[in-house]
A and B are shown apart, each in its own frame.
Chain A
Amino acid sequence: MKDHFKERSTRDYRQKRLFSKEELERRESLCVHEDPPFCNASCPLKLDVREMLKEASEGSFAKARSCLEHISPFPEILAYGCDAPCRKVCRRTELEEAVNIPAVERAVMRYSEAPKGKGLLKFKKKQKIAVFGTELFTLALAAEMAVKKYPVTLFTEAEDSVDLLKRCTDLPEEIMLRQIPVLEKTGIEIRFRETADRTFLEKEGKNYDIVCGASVLKKEAVDPVTLCDSAMHIFPSDQKEYGHVLQSFFDARRAAVSIERIVQKLDPHSTRPPEGKTESRLFTNLNYIPAEEAVIENGIYTEEECIREASRCIQCECAECMRGCAYLRAFRRYPRILTREIYNNTGIIMGDHMMNKALNACALCGQCTVTCPNGYDMADICRLARENMVETQKMSLAVHEFALLDMLFSNQEGFLSRPQPGFETCRYVYFPGCQAGGIAPKTVYKTYTDLINRLDGGVALMLGCCGVIAKWAGRKELYEEQTALLKQKMKELGDPVIIAGCPTCKVSLQEHFPDVTGLWDILKEISLPEGFRKYSGTVIVHDACGARSDPGTQDTIREIAEELGCTLQESTWSREKTGCCGYGGLVSYVNRDVASMMAEDCVKEDRDAVYLTYCMACRDRLTRQGVQAVHLTELVYNEKAEDTPGLSAKRRNRLLLKQSLLKDIWKEETMEKKLPFVMELSDEVRAKMEDRMILESDLIQTISAYRENGMAVYNESDDTLTASCRIGNVSFWIRFREKDDRYTVLSAYSHRMTVRIR
């Protein structure tokens, strides 16, 4: 058998791609978090409406103004004349009324001041641009190019700036006058009182690098994308998609792109950014958004009204996964980014794998796949990444070794497979799962005795681990070995119907065995045993993540709970949307902080409630979170589980369960090894051991080694001894006092490094 616990070398340079580039892109594309909000997508000028409204809602009018100035040299002309396609697609329309975006824009422009100074230093361009004609397009284009530091000359029939603005816009007098300093600041050279007809354009245009003109000067249709005619002169487009004002600015924007291509001697079609409106796949959940009446614009909003109206913006974003997943929140990454980073992490041959922590902190519970509108499967990616890193020798053994050894303990020392006495093969086998044995041995005991009494055809018993721990750790070979063991043992029992006591075991066993049912299904079928604990209170059923895709189990649990007398209360995160308690994916071993956040998420809606679980790990983890949690079988068999047993206690419980069952059911006495010494552990030491994942058995081995070889360090100053023992890949140390055969442990610690004399 392969040694799965041999430390790897960091000098092993292997790499395997997690998946193809296409597959990566396919997976990433399912996350729509970064898609633009609908308002932004519908705007041909790509105004960041969401950001602008956010700033306005916070009263930061100057910042909101800069969003507007970013898209146009004349934002106020837009604010007064834009036909606002953004309003038509605002998700608020589904609740009551769209946010009055142009009204907010108008107020923002009114209550903020134009930025002082010259802005970013830009190099002056050499190519001269001539713009002929008097319409909003020519004005906007001239300003757009002047802002880009091109020497621009505008030839207009207008008498002066006021007349020019009057002819180009339809603004109220007061607003129009406010545009004069804006126009002057652009630095356009304006030639007033010019005829600016076609003949003049052709004659005067020869002195310039680029010639642009108003629609009336157009001789032929222009290219719909570049707005160039055959002479490479630029005019407004022939197609009108938007109202006059927005269309003029949109055309000016596109014309500016063409000009920049032409001056660089490029085809104006080349490398153009996406232009015009786009489609957004963004998902906005309106379920949590209360309706809010729109603020009526009476002339112009007051500052307070503007803030109120801007606050109505939902700030559309898709955060469905984050809402339920503590893991994603802890790493502050949406699935798309996280996937890319994990993908890159698996590609690192030498150097730090910065995302190890992240890919090992996912509970692999599958909640995101349910909450995401596109079914993003982060669990699959994290699991595949773990497998990939194990395969390429990049996954540290230290991360999952404790959990894997615990699994092997369950399937070796703690393992038991026996047919019911009097049967050679059985119709059923009860498989309670490793956590039930570790946390509620007495409940398991009672369950088994009930099953053998009330089911026909013999009920075998199998105490062990379903192997999911190896699967979660990405150790495929070890998982296959555990599966092979279970298959062989099941065969010996006559391939019975498996009665799984744990929903995760059920799913895991279903991968390899055709007939797996839940203990709850059997209890429903044979009805509850006599003497069950009637519970007349209200409970919240905390669904197990293992039963996420199993509505039958979810229903049965609720039916049994009602039969037990419970009044059921549903939480937001129940059934297929349930969150993991933090045990899944081995998070509680690898990242205790994230595991705690996960458990807290399960109970935060109501910390005073009683949680009814049907997975023993959930029961344990929710109890650790300081709420009342009870496992279904505790009520059914009126036998309380142990509250928050430690790592050593869980192992001890499994052994005691095995011994008591062997003794009582199969009349086999097991020889209990009596220790030739007494080991004393204070609560403080126990807590330290729990934190450092040191088992009592590790200490016993260390003391035994010391008793054999006498090797220890004596510290005169505090009269203590410190001894060490290497067990597997870990050196354990204990500081203790010795009196006869009594060892008072003062501290325990460990390290994985080896140390030798050089």
Chain B
Amino acid sequence: MAAEKTYYSLEADQHLICHKCSVRLIKGRAVFEYLDNAFPVELPVCPVCGFIYVPEELAMGRVLSVEKVLEDK
């Protein structure tokens, strides 16, 4: 099977540390889901606890615009 498409990929900023686990965030495989639609992405995640970081620019930018498109479906 072909590799799953990744809609968005964000490198983990080396300054980001999981506050709980005290480890640096790494680029991890995540998926955004909304109204029965799923978008595989790569986001900074904690390799230990799995905390996924959604930065403000992403939330108020790409995520918001995709939300709006889906809301009119």
Are B66 and A753 touching (Cβ within 8 A)? yes
Are A754 and B49 in contact (CB-based, < 8 A)? no
Once the chains bind, are A399 and B49 in contact (CB under 8 Å)?
no
Nearest-Cβ distance from residue A651 to partner chain B, whole angstroms: 23
Instruction: Kindly identify which residue among A357, A692, A721, A752 contacts B67, using a CB–CB cutoff of 8 Å.
Output: A752
Instruction: For chain B, residues 21 to 44, give those with C-beta under 8 angstroms from any C-beta of chain A.
Output: 25, 28-37, 40-41, 43-44
Decide if A284 is an interface residue (CB 8 Å cutoff).
no
- Of A9, A357, A396, A757, the residue contacting B29 (CB under 8 A) is A757
Cβ of A10 under 8 Å from chain B: yes
Name the B residues within 8 Å of A354 (CB-CB).
Answer: 72
Shortest Cβ distance from residue B53 to the other chain A in the assembled complex, whole angstroms: 5
Expressed in whole angstroms, the Cα–Cα distance for A10 and B13 within the complex equals: 34
Q: Is the CB of A8 within 8 A of B35?
A: yes
Interface contact B15-A756, CB-CB below 8 Å: no
Partner of B59, one of A8, A352, A717, A749: A749
Of A435-443, A489-497, A518-526, A707-715, the segment with at least 4 beta carbons within 8 Å of chain B is: A707-715
- A758 with B67, Cβ < 8 A, contacts A353-B72, A354-B72, A713-B19 known: no
User: Across the interface, which residues of B come within 8 angstroms of A713, CB to CB?
Assistant: 16-19, 25, 44, 46, 51, 53
| Assembly CA distance A8 to B71 (angstroms) | 10
The DSSP consensus for interface residues of chain B is mixed
Partner of A733, one of B31, B49, B54: B54
The size bracket of the interface on B is 35 or more
Q: Chain B 50-73 against A: per-residue CB contact (8 Å), 1 yes, 0 no? A: 111110100110011011011111
With A396-B72, A712-B20, A713-B16: A754-B56 Cβ-Cβ less than 8 Å? no
Query: Which residues of chain A have C-beta atoms less than 8 A from B37's C-beta?
Result: 10
**Closest chain A residue to B57, Cβ basis:** A749
- CA of A399 to CA of B34, assembled, Å: 15
Complex-state Cα separation, A711 to B40, whole angstroms: 23
Q: Smallest CB–CB gap between B37 and chain A, Å? A: 6
Residue A356 is within 8 A (CB to CB) of chain B in the complex? yes
* Residue of A with least CB distance to B38: A758
Q: Which listed residue, B13, B16, B53, B54, touches A751 by the CB 8 Å rule?
A: B54
Q: How many of chain A's residues touch chain B, expressed as a range?
A: 35 or more
Contact of B73 among A352, A398, A751 (CB under 8 A): A352
In the assembly, what is the distance between CA of A354 and CA of B68, in Å? 12
Residue of B nearest to A692 (CB): B60
A753 and B72 within 8 A (CB): no
How far apart are A746's CB and chain B's nearest CB, in angstroms? 10
Closest Cβ neighbor of B17 among chain A residues: A714
Contact status B71-A398, CB under 8 Å: yes
Q: Does A60 contact B (CB under 8 A)?
A: no
- Is there a chain B Cβ closer than 8 Å to A72's Cβ? no
Interface residues in A555-576 by Cβ distance below 8 A to B read none
A554 within 8 A of B: no
The chain A residue with its CB closest to the CB of B31 is: A758
Q: How far is the CA of A10 from the CA of B38 in the complex (A)?
A: 12
A722 touches B53 (CB 8 A): yes
> How close is B60's CB to chain A, nearest CB, in angstroms?
6
Tell me, yes or no, whether A7 is within 8 Å of chain B by CB: yes
Please determine whether A756 and B30 come into contact, CB atoms closer than 8 angstroms. yes
Contacts A757-B28, A757-B45 hold; do A747 and B56 have CB atoms under 8 A apart? yes
Which residue of the partner chain, among A357, A692, A722, A751, contacts B63 with CB atoms under 8 Å?
Answer: A751
User: Which residues of the other chain, B, contact A352 by a CB distance below 8 angstroms?
Assistant: 69, 72-73
Tell which of A8, A717, A735, A753 has the most Cβ of chain B within 10 Å: A753
Query: In this complex, what residue of B is CB-closest to A12?
Result: B36
- B28 cross-chain contacts in A, Cβ below 8 A: 757
**Shortest Cβ distance from residue A745 to the other chain B in the assembled complex, whole angstroms:** 13
Most buried by A among B28, B35, B60: B35
Asked whether any CB of chain B lies closer than 8 Å to the CB of A3, the reply is no
Indicate which residue in A8, A9, A711, A716 contacts B17 across the interface (CB closer than 8 Å): A716
Asked if A724 lies at the interface with its beta carbon under 8 angstroms from chain B, I say: yes
Q: Is A731 at the interface (CB under 8 A from chain B)?
A: yes
A753 to B34, CA, bound (A): 5
Task: Say yes or no: B35 contacts A733, CB within 8 Å.
Answer: no
Name the CB-closest residue of A to B20.
A710
When the two chains form their complex, are residues A758 and B50 in contact, meaning their CB atoms are under 8 A apart? no
Confirm or deny: A1 has a beta carbon within 8 angstroms of a beta carbon on chain B. no
In the complex, which residues of chain B have a beta carbon less than 8 angstroms from the beta carbon of A353? 72-73
Chain A residues contacting B53 (CB-CB under 8 Å) are 713, 722
Give the docked Cα–Cα distance between A692 and B63 (Å): 14
Contact for A753 among B19, B32, B50, CB less than 8 A = B32
Please name the residue on chain B nearest to A757 by beta carbon: B50
Task: State how many angstroms separate the Cβ of B28 from the closest Cβ of chain A.
Answer: 7
A365 to chain B, nearest CB (A): 24
Q: Which A residues lie within 8 Å of B18 (CB)?
A: 711, 713-714
Known: A711-B19, A712-B19, A714-B16. A755 touches B72 (CB 8 A): no
In the complex where A398-B71, A716-B17 touch, is A733 in contact with B45 (Cβ < 8 A)?
A: no
| B67 adjacent to A753 (CB under 8 Å) | yes
B72 and A356 contact, CB distance less than 8 A: yes
Query: How many Å lie between the Cα of A716 and that of B16 in the bound state?
Result: 6
A756 and B33 form a contact (CB under 8 A): yes
Within 8 Å CB of A753, what residues of B?
32-34, 63, 66-67
Asked if A750 CB lies within 8 Å of chain B CBs, one says: yes
In angstroms, how far is the closest chain B Cβ from the Cβ of A752?
5
Interface positions of A (Cβ within 8 A of B): 7-11, 350-354, 356-357, 396, 398-399, 692, 709-717, 721-722, 724, 731, 733, 735, 747, 749-758
Residues of chain B whose beta carbon lies under 8 Å from any beta carbon of chain A: 13, 15-20, 25, 28-37, 40-41, 43-46, 49-54, 56, 59-60, 63-64, 66-67, 69-73
Q: Jot down 29 A-B pairs with beta carbons below 8 A, ordered by A.
A: A7-B35, A350-B73, A352-B73, A356-B71, A356-B72, A357-B72, A396-B72, A398-B71, A712-B19, A712-B51, A713-B17, A713-B25, A716-B15, A717-B15, A722-B53, A724-B54, A733-B54, A733-B59, A747-B56, A749-B56, A755-B41, A755-B43, A757-B29, A757-B31, A757-B45, A757-B50, A757-B52, A758-B29, A758-B40
